[in-house]
Amino acid sequence: MTLPPTLPEDLVPRLSEAVDAGFDAQIALTRELVRRPSQRGAEHAVQDLVFAELSRRGLAMERFAMDRAALARHPGAGAWSDSHSEAPIVTGIHRPKAETGRSLILQGHVDVVPTGPEALWTSPPYEAEIRDGRMYGRGAGDMKSGLACAIAALDALRACGWQPAATLYLESVVEEESTGNGALSAHLRGYRAEAALIPEPTGESLVRANTGVIWFRVEFAGIPCHVSQMGEGQNAIDAAIRTIAALRELERDWNARRVSHPRFAGLAKPINLNVGKIEGGEWASSVPAAAAVDFRISLLPGWSAPEHAAEIESFLAEFAAADPYLAQNPPKLVWNGFMAEGYELPEGSAAEAALGRAHLAVTGRAMGSHIMPAYLDARIHALYEGIPAMNYGPVAGVLHGIDEWVEIESLRRVTLAIALFVAEWCGLEPV
Ligand SMILES: [Zn+2]
């Protein structure tokens, strides 16, 4: 690797040694993070731990609540539903003695998705068990280990007697899995930098583009009665099932439009409409009075979220109008989460080049990139701050599934890569 001449010649071996020396502590911290269950709305305890860890390191600490009114005024905010988290955002700010380098946001989210049936897990989901070179647990991959990598990277620099020569924000956010309102709150707080790095579990590859996501809920009202009097289509669950089937047509239409998108044309089905949750009915012999379905659909980068939300709305209205029952009992559409657009990371930025050099120094290989048909908080920085927003993190698997894992050795490599990137991007000054 050809490092800028301003950096110490022995930077790579010294940092590598420091990462190794701190690695047991890093893994211990990662396990502590995983062991604090932090599903939506329950992230307080894990944020307390992050706050304590960052403040112990001498960073200037901020802990603040998400501002519901300010979010409501921002076009990129997701809807604040009853299940929205009230947990705080935690940020540790490093300010250098002399601001000679380029500023940086390092960001991670601590919210995790539900575990699914715990009985299916080989070890309990919040146990953070290590076996066969992997740590297993909900949030182990997505993305508590990545957040710990960012913290450990700064530790490694400090152990060598260095600190970033530029302002650095280390942001621990929530709501990444449901609205993106945590990262957006950090943006609204006013944190700004010249680049952002988010160590999501990307397999040590850079995310080039990702999709946006819209969440919506459709509520159906039925007329409850005994099944013996059931007329044609008065059943709210039947109405929900017909509507789900109809929405597959919208999904097909949207996927057909991928051909005009250079990065997504080659994917078979980048747009996924997920039926994520369904509820309704009370009794096998009663016609259900109510049913509701929670949907999630994705948007290609460049697609407007409000325009596509309007398309969902008119599609549903048209379908309902043609359905004898729904025409009389129109379903209610509720936006209850993400209203987020996708983004692309422009090629050739100085930040990407620096991260690429760090990756090469650690792995001996050129950094690859890939596109990801899922939501990522990087869109906040990409769309609303116009800075290079890079997702680059460890090798992990079965994210959101049973036996989610992260590869331990990958954490070592990613930590060193982040430390090298920070060194080049922010520059170094003595502690
Ligand atoms: Zn994530």
Gap from CA of 239 to ligand 1 centroid (Å):
34
- Whether residue 167 is predicted with pLDDT greater than 80 in this model: the reply is yes
Q: Cα dist. 16→10, 160, 230, 431 in Å?
A: 10, 10, 71, 18
DSSP 137: S
Q: What is the mean pLDDT of residues 188-213?
A: 97
**Same structural domain, 140 and 256:** no
Ligand 1 centroid distance, CA of 406 (Å): 13
Domain-located, residue 132: yes
Q: For residues 37 and 133, state if they share a domain.
A: yes
- Distance, in Å, from the CA atom of 300 to the CA atom of 373, rounded to the nearest integer, reads 8
Ligand 1 center from residue 24 Cα (angstroms): 23
Query: One-letter amino acid identity for 191?
Result: Y
Q: How far is the CA of 177 from the centre of ligand 1 (A)?
A: 7
425 alpha carbon – ligand 1 mean position (Å): 24
Same-domain status, 130 and 232: no
Instruction: Mark the residues whose beta carbon lies below 5 A from ion ligand 1.
Output: 142-143, 200
The DSSP output letter for 286 is: B
Using the CB atoms, write b or e for 118-152: b if 16+ within 10 Å.
Answer: eeebeeebbbbbbeeebbbbbbbbbbbbbbbbbbb
Same domain, 163 and 201: yes
Rounded to the nearest angstrom, the distance between the alpha carbon of 198 and the centre of ligand 1 is 9
Shared-domain flag, residues 392 and 336 = no
Contact status, residue 355 vs residue 422, Cβ threshold 8 Å: no
Compute the distance from residue 374 Cα to the ligand 1 centre, in Å: 10
Quick check: 403 and 122 in contact, CB under 8 A? yes
- The answer to whether position 5 is within a domain reads no
Tell me which of 340, 361, 391 is where a domain ends: 340
324 and 363 share a domain? no
C-alpha 217 to ligand 1 mean position (Å): 23
CATH number of the domain enclosing 276? 3.30.70.360
Is residue 421 one of the residues assigned to a domain? yes
263-311 confidence digits (pLDDT tens): 888 888 999 999 999 999 988 888 888 999 999 999 999 999 999 999 9
Out of 340, 358, 385, pick the residue that ends a domain.
340
CA of 174 to the centre of ligand 1 (A): 10
Number of domains in the chain: 2
Domain boundary among 319, 340, 361: 340
Q: Which two tokens stand for residue 84?
A: 């929205």
Q: Give yes or no: residues 74 and 202 share one domain.
A: yes
The answer to whether position 6 is within a domain reads no
C-alpha 205 – ligand 1 centre gap (Å): 15
55 with 167, same domain: the answer is: yes
Q: What is the pLDDT of residues 308-327, one digit of tens each?
A: 999 999 999 999 999 988 99
More confident: 1 or 394: 394
Burial of 311 (0-12, 13-18, 19+ CB in 10 A): middle
The domain of 156 spans 11-210+342-430
pLDDT at 292: 97
Average pLDDT over the chain, rounded to an integer: 95
Q: What percentage of the chain carries pLDDT values higher than 90?
A: 88
Assess whether pLDDT exceeds 80 at residue 2.
no
pLDDT, tens digit (0-9, with 9 covering 90-100), for 360-374: 999 999 999 999 888
Task: For 112-126, write each residue's pLDDT tens digit.
Answer: 999 999 999 999 999
2 domain residue, yes or no: no
How many A from CA of 98 to the centre of ligand 1?
34
Ligand 1 geometric centre to CA of 273 (Å): 19
| 334 and 254 in a common domain | yes
Residue 177 counted as domain residue: yes
pLDDT of residue 259: 85
- 270 and 159 inside one domain: no
Could you tell me if residue 4 is inside a domain?
no
Name residues whose C-beta falls within 8 Å of residue 144's C-beta, 6 or more positions apart in sequence. Answer: 30, 33, 34, 46, 108, 110, 112
Percent of the chain with pLDDT strictly greater than 70: 97
Query: Given a cut of 80, is residue 131 above it in pLDDT?
Result: yes
In the reported structure, the alpha carbon of residue 108 is separated from the centroid of ligand 1 by a whole-number distance in angstroms of: 8
Residue-wise pLDDT for 232-268, tens only, equals: 557 899 999 999 999 999 999 999 998 888 888 888 8
Strand partners, 197: 106, 390
